[in-house]
Amino acid sequence: MWDVAEELKAMLVFAEHRYYGKSLPFGASSFKDSRHLNFLTSEQALADFGELIKHLKRIIPGAENQPVIAVGGSYGGVLAAWFRMKYPHMVVGALAASAPIWQFEDIVPCGAFMEIVTTDFRKSGPNCSESIRSSWDAINRLARTGTGLDWLSEGLHLCTPLTNSQDVQRLKDWISETWVHLAMVDYPYESDFLQPLPAWPVKVVCQYLRNPHVSEKELLQNIFQALNVYHNYSGQARCLNMSEAATGSLGTQGWSYQTCTEMVMPFCTNGIDDMFEPHSWDLKEFSDDCFKQWGVKPRPSWITTMYGGKDISSHTNIIFSNGDLDPWSGGGVTKNITDTLVAITIPDGAHHLDLRASNAFDPTSLLLARSLEVKYMQQWIRDFYASLRNTR
């Protein structure tokens, strides 16, 4: 974005989403209960962006008649696309990078996400995804006895020992999440998005997971080495802390509430097309958990009512970019819808790689994608000035 902004002589504005970072409407009480959280919706966030653009155009000399482009990645990419859909008078177009606008209701299969995670691991080293698939049973078998639990706690160097079956489930969820996050940030160079990591971290992880046909304990020692890549790349940690969020400071509270209200994304696994334990999507279970945690119940059909679901063809000027390595591409737009609703896929790309700063290790597919993105943006800007001239 920095490079492109310079090329297009543009100003970059980062708008902080309400209830994230420092934008807490009720300060420390913002996440206290559903009454305080009531103002956390995507619609309100989009309205904030609308107010912000209007405000900036008023206060910044020369900004008033300039075109604006919405840019975002991940949920921010979803918002960028939705902003162009709902406020087309405010932005001439949107770059929605790794934006899973179709990860709702039954628009895409709920298993697509985890299948892509699995594919990444399968392609990143021999037997890698099979080793992970075998690991769940190994954990389950050890977890049946007290000595097995003790071994697991020590073998995986957990900061807090496992004591019951709930802990074991948490462990498996935490490990699954680690593989998901590794797939998302499988970048071609050292990076520090969710965690500090080496280049192509999934390949690095898979080096430890070449042999699924070893003993349970050996397999899990290998799993520990693999986990260590993600959770202890610096080598400073003396144990692995399951209660540490794997996503750093991305604002998990706000996101958890949003998934429990509007942003209901069905996910599932079957253990066959993916390397995880089978888990079907259970709205009832999800809804009960939401009610327990936040006192709210999700509205799984609302997003498609509000934003159109699969049927977005009447909109214009949105680029949907996706990396094939990115599990979120499963819920993204990866084929052109119209001439002005276009998809760009980056075969070697993980989660919104195109929005990251230029790097010597950027793959060619990324360079092509970026230059195409800039071409579209330039077209939007030209069209904007042409229509300005016509209305004068």
Residues that bind a second copy (CB under 8 A): 43, 47, 50-51, 54, 86-90, 301, 305-306, 308-309, 311-316, 387
Tokens of 51: 């107010």
Number of other CB atoms surrounding residue 372 within 10 Å: 15
Query: Which residue number, 252 or 301, has a Cβ lying nearer to a second copy?
Result: 301
Q: Closest distance between a second copy and the C-beta of residue 339, in Å?
A: 14
> What's the distance, Cα to Cα, between the start and end of the chain in Å?
32
Helix (H, G, I), strand (E, B) or coil at 69: strand
Q: Closest distance between a second copy and the C-beta of residue 314, in Å?
A: 4
The whole-angstrom separation of Cα 136 and Cα 118 is 14
DSSP 159: S
Q: Closest distance between a second copy and the C-beta of residue 391, in Å?
A: 8
| Half-sphere exposure in the Cβ direction for 388 (13 Å, CA) | 12
Query: Which residue number, 88 or 363, has a Cβ lying nearer to a second copy?
Result: 88
Query: Which residue number, 45 or 117, has a Cβ lying nearer to a second copy?
Result: 45
Which are the contacts of 373, defined by CB distance < 8 A and separation ≥ 6?
4, 95, 319, 321, 344, 354
Q: Closest distance between a second copy and the C-beta of residue 89, in Å?
A: 3
Tokens of 357: 């700063």
- Which member of 326, 354, 362, 365 is catalytic? 326
Q: Is 90 exposed, middle or buried (0-12, 13-18, 19+ CB in 10 A)?
A: middle
Query: Which residue number, 200 or 384, has a Cβ lying nearer to a second copy?
Result: 384
Query: Which residue number, 298 or 327, has a Cβ lying nearer to a second copy?
Result: 298
Query: Which residue number, 276 or 384, has a Cβ lying nearer to a second copy?
Result: 384
Query: Which residue number, 38 or 293, has a Cβ lying nearer to a second copy?
Result: 38
Asked if 157 is an active-site residue, the reply is no
The whole-angstrom separation of Cα 87 and Cα 48 is 12
Q: Closest distance between a second copy and the C-beta of residue 86, in Å?
A: 6
Q: Closest distance between a second copy and the C-beta of residue 388, in Å?
A: 11
Query: Which residue number, 243 or 314, has a Cβ lying nearer to a second copy?
Result: 314
For 288: left if phi > 0, alpha if psi spans -120 to 50, otherwise beta; the answer is: alpha
Asked if 351 is an active-site residue, the reply is yes
Q: Closest distance between a second copy and the C-beta of residue 40, in Å?
A: 16
Report DSSP letters for 284-328, one per residue: HHHHHHHHHHHS----TTHHHHHH-TT--TT---EEEEEETT-GG
Q: Which residue is listed with tokens 């934006």? A: 99
173-179: long-range contacts, CB 8 A cutoff, minimum separation 24 = 174/242, 174/246, 175/135, 175/223, 175/227, 176/276, 177/246, 178/227, 178/230, 178/231, 178/246, 179/117, 179/121, 179/132, 179/275
Which are the contacts of 242, defined by CB distance < 8 A and separation ≥ 6?
158, 159, 160, 170, 171, 174
- Residue 73 main-chain phi, psi, to 5 deg: -125, 150
Asked if 326 is an active-site residue, the reply is yes
Q: Which residue is listed with tokens 């706690």? A: 153
Q: Closest distance between a second copy and the C-beta of residue 330, in Å?
A: 20
- Which member of 17, 315, 351, 352 is catalytic? 351
Q: Which positions are annotated as active-site residues?
A: 74, 326, 351
